[in-house]
Structure 1
Amino acid sequence: MKADHKPPQADTQSGGFLGLSISTLLGGGVWVMIARLFTQIAQLAGFVAAARFLSPEEFGFFAFVSAIAFLLVVVSEGGWAEFIMRADHGEQHLPQLATIALVSGASFTIMGFLVSLSIGWLWFSTWQTWLFLLFSLWFIPAAVNTVYDGTLVHRNLLNRQAVIRIVAEAAGLAVTLFGLWVGWNILALVVGRLVTHFLALAGGIRVIGWIKPAWPNRMVLGEVLHFARYIVSVRFIVFGRSYSGTLAVGALLSLADAGYYRAAERIVAAFSELVGEPARMLAWVIFRRAAGQAVDNRGGDPVSRAGNLFLPVLFAVAAPVYVGLILVAPNLVDTALGATWAPVALVVKILAVRQLLSFQGYVTEPLLSVRGEVQRLWPLSLMISVASIGMMLVLAPFGLVYAAVGQCVAAGFAGVLAIWFQSRYGKLNWPRITANSGLIALAAAVMFVGVSSIAHWPIELQLPAYSQLAVQVLVGALIYLGVLYASWRWTGWLKSGH
């Protein structure tokens, strides 16, 4: 069935917030949150199972190999999804985008095969060569799926996108767990992720319909590649920032240390993606809708007004997540991974601080894209990555903790840069955002002090780690929500985005 390239009528309805009903907006956000929560639970379950079956050295080896594969996935995915999401005319080029994605994915798959076969027999054993070949099969489904993902978001079918992700992740987890149980070891992780990619693509085809590829003309190809080069370059830089820690620690210290560091990054990334992915998706919808609204009678800019409201709400979600992670890290690591992985806990705490310092970066890409300032993303990401990688290379030789502290310093620099770019090119009112976020910071601080002050009680009662974790989460949630609600009732903050 050929895809219908016309956006649904629901996209053009008036009323509600920025042309979307409140129920549609919140419903879509809830579905994205549910899918992201399930994805993180599934991936964490696979990670925990792998930690139980693999040694830190084996896990570090997997981290090294997968980093190379992820680099090629990032490039093969291009910016096809973002091209579709950024404006209404993106769907007019779906057949051409499908062709570009297929060619991109196939090219990297062939390249992966050739590299694996040509150098595998020189440096690697047979099973390691097969591992690299399996990684190469990721590229085609990952690249093509971005076209379907972008279309689902553009049509506000976030609920269906969520169902697809849940089903794909569940199947991938089942394959991973089965593979670990029967002794596939590292191969189980690769095959499980491959199953997830293919099922996600199949789900997109089931909902949208098969997008029949059509060869793009020169104008369309030029427009797509011009836009994609900024997205790809930004993600390439972000990739370097994300994986420089694992690679640097492994090269400068040991594979076991690389395993520890990657495990800490993976735990923090689970919470980061739980916050960041819904934030990014909703930011695309909200800012794109706002960009299509006329300036009101008071001269207010809809995009600025939307951002001035959205950032404090995002902070209200991010603050308890990352502060809570700092508080529960030791019990979380002990419960999930076991005593062997105890060195991970302190690194998790430090990396949680890093995420809290740079949460505002979640919305930079959609904001600058709808403002027509997508070219600003490249220098921004480059400066942030240079700082992150530089700190890693300088401090990693001194140990895991020093490497993680260096990432906090780099994150503080990244947060300041993001605010400056969002203010100058995205035209957000950061003094207003800061004023609306003050009581949120107070609630998070009270939560931290409150949970820390009773931390000795569960220990004195000799509760197991998982019970201590549950007590910390429950008490922290009650304190944070109570203080936040009382502050809102008392001051009425966040009533205006002007």
Structure 2
Amino acid sequence: MGLLHNVKWVSLSQIIKIISQLLGLVVFSRYLSPSEFGIMSMTLIVVNFINILRDMGSSAAIIQKELLSDSLKCSVFYLNLSLGLFLFVISYFSSTAVSVFFNEPAVSNTIKMISIAIPINSMTAIHLALLERESKFNKTAIIEISASIISLAIGIICAIKGAGVYSLVVQTLLYSFISSCGFWMVSGWVPRAKFSLSDIKSIFKFSSSLVGFNFINYFSRNSDQIIIGRSFSASILGQYSLAYRVMLFPIQNITFVLTRSLYPILSRIQKNYIESVSIYLKTLKTIAIIIPPLMLGIAVVSRELVVVVFGPQWVHISSILIWLAPIAIMQSMVSTTGSVFMAQGKTGILLKISIYNAILQISSFIIGGFYSIDILIKLYLVANVLMFFPNMMLAMKVLNGSVFALVATIIKPIIAALLMSLVVIYFRSSVAYLELKPIALLTFSVLVGVVTYSFMMLVIERKYIAGFFKNR
């Protein structure tokens, strides 16, 4: 099964998840208070951190490994189950201390309940890995879609009945239980009573480096919130957080689809460098066609977009979005390099480059915290530029590809996106005297941008577009 098959089913699953999240956000916001949402957020900070250790990177190792014995699968299963139970105990008995830290007693109970999902997810992590290894994303998509819809429906019923924050807890637990049962049944694999320490040692180097990467990545990704909250006001943190979520949306919901689909494919052909480079460049081409025009478009219309979508009280985040747009473009491409390093078994390189990335990112936040949010974001942009080139060059080197091929792949869509931005800016300045309402200016700007970008792509990428439709 090819990349397109994987992308199709992962996209479908992700779209349903997004719809469920948005619908849930609308409904839950009417029945739950802001403090109850805050309690759940505090709970998930702890649980998401614990989940880094849930399978010690063994699932990724199962997908990457060329030859897979039943003994290794059984050994990984019992390792994951033991880790899940151990982390459940740690999470359960540390819940009181966490609630004291946050000064929120209710967090203790929510952590204890949510922790039940840890061993459930751990014991079926290998079943999901086996399905993804064989690129059976059609089956995983059906399971994830069913779990999303059922858990959301029951969670909403609980919220209507007055369950409060526990309606979110029920939704989370149900999703884990339903999806885990589905993965277990569909994978067709049943563990046997065998465990080999030598099998675990065979994946230890790969897995340990991956866990180290996840630790570093978790802290570097969350350090901005901590430093901004510490250095500036809650209002500034709130504005930055919303702008950052807008920036993350295409990375989480577009790039995620491609990278999740890419990893098992590259793992299966890890010795075929020519095909690996070809597939990887096609993935980057897709990202270059979608993300740059989207993010540059958001930057150009940021003021009207914020006013129309979020309300005038958030108008100040429009200036933040302008600087975050190029960061999103670079991160959307850099985020694919992890699949390359893991597929080639180079988690040591992944760990080292993540340390380099973390130093740059955290340093930009710390230094910017002494000045202003504007300087902090500009330094964050500089950090991402310094991260982009080494990460992309290393990924191409691992695949025996050339940097020239990388540049040739992404340059034309980026040029088209930049030209589109200039045309939209010119259009907006030309109609400024009309003093259009924000929604009208936003609508016309988007239409001009879509038409311009489509025309640019037809002119400079006509061979690629013709080949795309020819192969459908």
**Same fold at TM > 0.5:** yes
- Whole-Å Cα distance in 2 between the matches of residues 243 and 94 of structure 1? 33
Amino acid of the structure 1 residue aligned with 2:199: V
1:161 correspondence with 2:140: yes
How far the C-alpha of 1:336 sits from its partner, in A, is: 4.4
CA distance in 2, matches of 1:324, 1:253: 29
CA positional deviation for 1:44:
4.2
Alignment partners' CA distance in 2, 1:205 and 1:62? 28
Please name the residue that 1:262 is paired with.
Answer: 241
TM-superposed deviation, 1:487: 1.5
Matched length: 466
Matches for 1:13-412 after TM superposition, within 5 Å: 20=1, 24-47=2-25, 63-90=41-68, 92=70, 93-117=72-96, 120=99, 124-174=103-153, 177=156, 186-209=165-188, 211-212=190-191, 214-293=193-272, 301-412=274-385
Task: Go from structure 1 to structure 2 and tell me whether the alpha carbon gap of 1:471 and 1:404 turns closer, same or farther (over 3 Å shift).
Answer: same
Distance 1:452 1:105 in 2: 53
Is the contact between residue 307 and residue 438 of structure 2 (CA under 8 Å) also seen in structure 1? no
Q: One-letter code of the match for 1:69?
A: V
Shift of 1:111: 0.4
CA contact (8 A) 2:42 2:107 kept: no
CA contact (8 A) 1:290 1:306 kept: no
**Cα RMSD, aligned residues only:** 3.4
1:431 aligns with 2:404: yes
Structure 1 residue 435: Cα displacement: 1.8
AA aligned opposite 1:37: I
Residues 411-436 of structure 1: CA distance to partner in whole angstroms, max 9, x if unpaired?
11221120231233332211122123
CA 1:173–1:491: 2 relative to 1, 3 Å: closer
Tell me if the contact between 1:56 and 1:259 (Cα under 8 Å) persists in the aligned partners.
no
- The answer to whether the 8 Å contact 2:357/2:387 transfers is yes
Change (3 A) 1:218 1:356: same
- 1:311 is aligned with what amino acid? L
Cα deviation, residue 452, structure 1: 3.1
Question: Any idea what SS the aligned residue of 1:156 has?
Answer: coil
When normalised by structure 1's length, the TM-score is 0.81
Q: Which residue is equivalent to 1:10?
A: none
Aligned-residue offset at 1:385: 1.0
Q: Which runs of 5+ in 2 are unaligned?
A: none
CA distance in 1, matches of 2:323, 2:376: 10
Give the distance between the partners of 2:87 and 2:45, measured in 1 at CA: 15
- Quick one: structure 1 residues 56 and 125, their matched pair in 2 at CA, closer, same or farther if it must change by over 3 Å? closer
How far did 1:178 drift?
5.2
Q: Distance in 1 between matches of 2:159 and 2:304?
A: 25
In the alignment, the residues of structure 2 paired with residue 472 and residue 169 of structure 1 have an alpha-carbon distance, to the nearest angstrom, of 35
The residue aligned with 1:483 is 456
Higher mean C-alpha displacement, 171-180 vs 445-454: 171-180
8 Å Cα contact 1:97-1:147 kept in structure 2: yes
262-271 vs 370-379, which moves further: 262-271
Q: In the alignment, residue 390 of structure 2 is paired with which amino acid?
A: L
* Equivalent position SS for 1:89: coil
Q: Which amino acid aligns with 1:390?
A: S
Describe the shift of the 1:50–1:343 C-alpha distance in structure 2 as closer, same or farther (beyond 3 A): farther
The residue type equivalent to 1:260 in the other structure is Q
Give the secondary structure class of the aligned counterpart of 2:419.
helix
Instruction: Normalising by structure 2, report the TM-score.
Output: 0.85
In terms of mean alpha carbon deviation, does 150-159 or 52-61 score higher?
Answer: 52-61
SS of 1:394's equivalent in the other structure is helix
- The 8 Å contact of residues 83 and 228 in structure 1, kept in 2 or not, is answered as yes
Measure the CA separation in 2 of the matches of 1:95 and 1:313. 38
Distance verdict in 2 for CA 1:351–1:269, change over 3 Å: same
Distance 1:255-1:146 versus aligned 2 partners, 3 A rule? farther
CA offsets, 1:268-305, max 9 Å, x none?
A: 22221122212212322442343254x7xxxxx33334
Aligned partners of 1:453 and 1:182: how far apart in 2?
53
Cα distance in structure 2, aligned partners of 1:26 and 1:476: 27
Identity of counterpart residues, as a percentage?
18
Worse-matched range after superposition: 182-191 or 305-314: 182-191
The amino acid across from 1:205 in the alignment is W
Inter-partner Cα distance in structure 1 for 2:293 and 2:442: 15
Distance 1:216 1:261, change over 3 A: farther
Q: Deviations over 1:38-93 (max 9, x none)?
A: 32343344456667788888867754553232111122143132112113424633
Distance 1:272 1:154 in 2: 23
The one-letter amino acid of 2:50's match is: L
> Hey, what's the Cα distance between the residues in 1 that align with 2:173 and 2:442?
33
**Quick one: which amino acid aligns to residue 176 of structure 2?**
H
